[in-house]
Structure 1
Amino acid sequence: MENSEVLLHQLFQTVRIISKGLNKRLEPLGIYSSEWSIITTLKEKGSMTQGELASYLNIEPPAVSKSLVKLEKKGLIMRMAGTDKREKKVTLSQEAVDQCLIWREIVGHHRSAILNDLSEEKQKELTMLLKNIFQNAQEYDKNITI
């Protein structure tokens, strides 16, 4: 196998095992890693439209929509009218805000466990490499015409 193929395969496998492990830890509390990414984004950025969430998280709009429906049923988000009547702003409910500290602690333990043997310097180096790959992927996608 070509080195680039091995690298990208490892990257996909790593992301999958991280998500799977986080789901095991969050599921007893009623949420999943995909929902957690939406919750943390809303907590950090404030209210956003569904389209803004999809764009920010680099997730397909139908997948975001599916997660938002689940979060709404769980009482963890609310949709409110925005400035444009066609789009609604998504915001966290008070229940979600109250639970965030518990979820954040579990996520923090998970992150510490999987990064425990990577020094701060190695983590920064890996972050820079991943950002570079991400930027290259974005640039490549811009140049593709369908």
Structure 2
Amino acid sequence: MLNNTHTLFHGVHQLSRELSKQLNEVLEPFGLYNAQWAVLFVLKQQGTLTQKELCQYLAVEAPPMTRTIQRLLKQEYIEQHSGQDRRKKYIQLSKKALKEYPKWEEAVNKANQALLTSFPKDSQEELQSLITEWLGYIKQSEH
């Protein structure tokens, strides 16, 4: 057991901030930020979702998600459609986003690979396993 959990959580927070900063630098030429990329990535992987589903999946509060969605609408990267229940808005990638997505993904993948070059493969796999396990515990305790 760690004597000082602050050190662990501070390190995780610093890592998260550094990864976000690196991602923002890679996405800047495309006029995107990491929050927008997260939405675009999830929509590409999951398909059409509601704003509430996006908030839950990305663990983001509604107000910042609304701002991100508004930016993506303005850039014409997403489309919103009302369902049978007019209160629900369904969000999906636009044709423009689907056309641009491979360029964004290539840039992000190159940056990710560069970040991992000095990190041994077995450590990467172990870290992925630990993150998945920890996230599972956190999500399970929320219910």
Query: Which residue is 2:103 aligned to?
Result: 102
Query: 1:72-126: CA deviations, max 9, x gaps?
Result: 0111111011232211100111111111000001100110011112233211210
Pairwise CA distance, 1:62: 1.3
For each residue in 1:19-72, what CA deviation from the matched residue of structure 2 results, as whole angstroms up to 9, or x when unmatched?
111101111211111100100111111110000000111111211111000000
Q: Give the structure-2-normalised TM-score.
A: 0.92
Structure 1 residues 1-146: aligned runs within 5 Å: 2-142=3-143
- What is the distance in 2 between the residues matched to 1:65 and 1:105? 27
Q: Distance in 1 between matches of 2:16 and 2:9?
A: 11
Q: Which secondary structure state, in structure 2, belongs to the residue aligned with residue 90 of structure 1?
A: strand
AA at the equivalent of 1:133: W
Unaligned runs of 5+ in 1: none
Unaligned runs of 5+ in 2: none
67-76 vs 124-133, which deviates more?
124-133
State the TM-score, normalized to the length of structure 1: 0.90
Letter in 1 for 2:83: G
Number of residues paired by the alignment? 142
The 1-side partners of 2:14 and 2:111 are apart by 17
| Separation in 2, partners of 1:122, 1:83 | 48
> How well do the aligned residues superpose, as a CA RMSD in angstroms?
1.6
In structure 2, C-alpha distance between the alignment counterparts of 1:121 and 1:133, rounded to whole Å = 18
Q: Please report how far the alpha carbon of residue 129 of structure 1 lies from its aligned counterpart in structure 2 after TM superposition.
A: 1.2
Go from structure 1 to structure 2 and tell me whether the alpha carbon gap of 1:120 and 1:82 turns closer, same or farther (over 3 Å shift): farther
- TM-superposed deviation, 1:132: 2.5
